[in-house]
C-alpha cells in the first residue's frame, strides 16, 4: 500500500510529498498495485525461465562450475604443482600417461595430475570471468548511465555531454577487443590481473552503449514525464526511476560477457599475456601450454578446451534464456 500522506501536509518536506505523489501515480499506472512494475517483470521472467529447457541447462552448467570452483580445495585430490609422477611422462619421446585409477584424467606433460589441475583451474577461470565482467559492468554502467541520464534529463547541455561521452565510447569500440587487451597487457606485463583488467576494459564500451540506449528509450516513457511534471529532482528520477527499469539488457549482457571473458582470457593466454605462475593454473593457460603436444597427446588440450567451451556455453544459454524471458515481445 502507498505511504499515506501525513495528516498535516505542510509539516512533511516538499520532496517527500512529491515522492509520495509519484509513488501513488506509478501505482495507479501499474497493473498490480503494491508489487511495483520492476519486481513484476523480473518475477515473470523467472517463471518463464523455469519452463525453458535452455535456461535450465545453462543454469545447471553454471551451478556445477561455480560449486567446483568454490570447493576446489576439497575436490582436487592432489596439488596443482605436485609432480609426483614426473618420472612417468616423457614429452620428448611422446610418452604420456592417460586416465587411470589414481589420476582420473591422466597426467600432464610435467607429470602433474590433470584432474586436480582442471578443478583448481576452474576457480582461476571463474575469477577471471567474474572480475573482468565486473570491471566492464562497473565502468561501462558508470559511463553509459551518466551519458544516458544527461541525455534524457540534462536538456541541451546534457545532450552535449552525452555526445562527448559517446564519441569516446565509439573510439573504444573501434579498437578490437583483443588488441585493446594486448595493449593493456603490454603496459602492465603478463599476469592474471592483466588479463582480467584487459578483458574487462574491452567490455566497457558495450555495457556503456547498452545502458545508455536503454535509459534513453525509458526516458520517453510517461512515468518519467509524470515525475518531471511533479517536480521530482532530476538525479532522483535518473537513479530511482529510469535506472532500475533500464537494467534488464545490462544484466543479460553481464551473463553473456562472463562467457566471452573466459574465451577472451584464453586467447590472451595463447598470445603469451596470461599468468606465468604454474601454481595457479587457469584453463586458458593450460590450453595454450598443451598446444605443443596436440598431435601426440591431444587430451591435454581437449580437457581445458572442453572446460572453457562447456562453461561458456552454460553462461551463454543462461544469458540467452534471460534475454528471451525479458523480451516484451515474447511475453504473455
Partner 1 sequence: MLRFIVRRLLQLIPTLGGLSILLFVWLQRLPGGPEYALLPDDATAEQRAALRRSLGLEEPVAVQYLAFLRRITQGDLGTSIQTGRPVLEEFLLRFPATFELAVTAMLIAVTAGLPLGYLAARRRGTVLDFAAVGGSLLGICTPVFFLAFILKVIFAERLGVFPSAFRLSPGLSRTDITGFVVLDGLMTREWDVVTDALAHLVLPGLALASIPLAVITRMTRASVLEVMGEDYVRTANAKGLHRTTVRTRHVLRNALLPVVTAVGLLAGSLFAGAVLTESVFAFPGIGSFVYEATQNRDYPVLTGFILLIATMYVFINLLVDISYSLLDPRVRAQ
Contact set with partner 1 (CB under 8 A): 167-168, 170-171, 173-179, 182-183, 186-187, 259, 263, 266-267, 270-273, 284, 287-288, 291, 294-295, 298, 301, 305, 308-309, 312-313, 316-317, 320
- Residue closer to partner 1 by CB (options 182, 242) is 182
Task: Compute the least distance from the CB of residue 226 to partner 1, in Å.
Answer: 28
Query: In whole angstroms, how large is the CA radius of gyration of the chain?
Result: 25
- Residue closer to partner 1 by CB (options 235, 331) is 331
- Residue closer to partner 1 by CB (options 11, 220) is 220
Nearest to 150 by CA among 142, 140, 159: 159
Task: Compute the least distance from the CB of residue 76 to partner 1, in Å.
Answer: 24
- Residue closer to partner 1 by CB (options 276, 298) is 298
Task: Compute the least distance from the CB of residue 90 to partner 1, in Å.
Answer: 21
Gap between the Cα atoms of 92 and 90, Å rounded? 5
In 3-state terms the chain splits into helix, strand, coil percentages (rounded to 5) of 75, 0, 25
Nearest to 202 by CA among 251, 263, 148: 263
Nearest to 41 by CA among 332, 243, 326, 253: 326
- Residue closer to partner 1 by CB (options 238, 301) is 301
Nearest to 180 by CA among 172, 169, 188: 172
Which class for 288: exposed (0-12), middle (13-18), buried (19 or more C-beta within 10 A)? buried
Nearest to 203 by CA among 134, 286, 157, 305: 134
Task: Compute the least distance from the CB of residue 295 to partner 1, in Å.
Answer: 6
Locate cell 518475477: which residue?
43
Task: Compute the least distance from the CB of residue 57 to partner 1, in Å.
Answer: 11
Q: Which segments of the chain does DSSP mark as H helices, in order?
A: 14-29, 37-50, 53-70, 72-75, 114-153, 155-174, 177-188, 192-219, 222-229, 234-236, 243-270, 283-290, 298-326
Task: Compute the least distance from the CB of residue 91 to partner 1, in Å.
Answer: 16
- Residue closer to partner 1 by CB (options 220, 295) is 295
Task: Compute the least distance from the CB of residue 250 to partner 1, in Å.
Answer: 20
Gap between the Cα atoms of 249 and 86, Å rounded? 49
Nearest to 247 by CA among 58, 35, 41: 41
- Residue closer to partner 1 by CB (options 242, 322) is 322
- Residue closer to partner 1 by CB (options 196, 266) is 266
The number of CA neighbours under 13 Å toward the Cβ of 140 is 30
Q: Do the Cβ atoms of 292 and 103 come closer than 8 Å?
A: no
Task: Compute the least distance from the CB of residue 287 to partner 1, in Å.
Answer: 6
Amino acid at each position: 500500500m502507498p505511504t499515506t500522506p501525513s495528516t498535516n501536509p505542510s509539516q512533511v518536506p516538499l520532496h517527500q510529498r512529491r515522492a509520495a505523489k509519484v509513488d501513488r501515480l506509478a501505482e495507479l499506472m501499474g497493473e498490480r498495485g503494491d508489487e511495483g512494475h520492476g519486481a513484476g517483470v523480473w518475477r515473470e521472467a523467472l517463471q518463464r525461465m523455469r519452463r525453458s529447457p535452455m535456461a535450465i541447462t545453462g543454469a545447471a552448467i553454471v551451478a556445477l562450475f561455480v560449486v567446483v570452483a568454490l570447493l576446489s580445495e576439497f575436490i582436487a585430490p592432489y596439488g596443482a604443482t605436485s609432480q609426483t609422477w614426473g618420472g612417468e611422462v616423457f614429452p620428448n619421446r611422446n610418452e604420456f600417461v592417460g586416465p587411470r585409477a589414481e589420476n582420473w584424467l591422466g597426467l600432464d606433460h610435467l607429470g602433474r595430475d590433470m584432474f586436480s589441475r582442471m578443478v583448481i583451474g576452474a576457480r582461476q577461470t571463474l575469477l577471471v570471468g567474474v572480475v573482468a565482467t565486473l570491471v566492464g559492468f562497473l565502468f561501462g554502467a558508470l559511463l553509459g548511465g551518466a551519458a544516458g541520464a544527461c541525455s534524457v534529463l540534462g536538456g541541451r547541455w546534457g545532450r552535449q555531454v552525452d555526445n562527448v561521452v559517446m564519441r569516446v565510447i565509439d573510439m573504444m569500440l573501434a579498437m578490437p577487443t583483443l588488441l585493446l587487451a594486448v595493449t593493456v597487457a603490454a603496459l602492465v606485463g603478463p599476469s592474471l590481473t592483466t588479463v582480467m583488467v584487459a578483458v574487462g576494459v574491452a567490455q566497457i564500451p558495450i555495457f556503456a552503449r547498452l545502458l545508455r540506449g536503454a535509459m534513453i528509450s525509458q526516458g520517453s516513457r510517461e512515468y518519467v514525464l509524470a515525475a518531471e511534471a511533479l517536480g521530482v529532482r532530476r538525479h532522483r528520477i535518473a537513479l530511482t526511476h529510469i535506472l532500475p527499469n533500464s537494467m534488464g539488457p545490462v544484466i543479460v549482457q553481464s551473463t553473456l560477457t562472463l562467457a566471452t571473458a573466459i574465451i577472451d582470457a584464453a586467447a590472451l593466454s595463447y598470445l603469451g599475456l596470461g599468468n606465468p605462475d604454474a601454481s595457479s593454473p587457469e584453463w586458458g593457460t593450460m590450453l595454450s601450454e598443451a598446444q605443443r603436444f596436440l598431435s601426440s597427446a591431444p587430451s591435454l588440450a581437449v580437457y581445458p578446451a572442453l572446460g572453457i567451451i562447456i562453461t561458456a556455453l552454460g553462461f551463454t544459454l543462461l544469458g540467452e534464456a534471460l534475454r528471451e524471458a525479458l523480451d516484451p515481445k515474447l511475453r504473455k
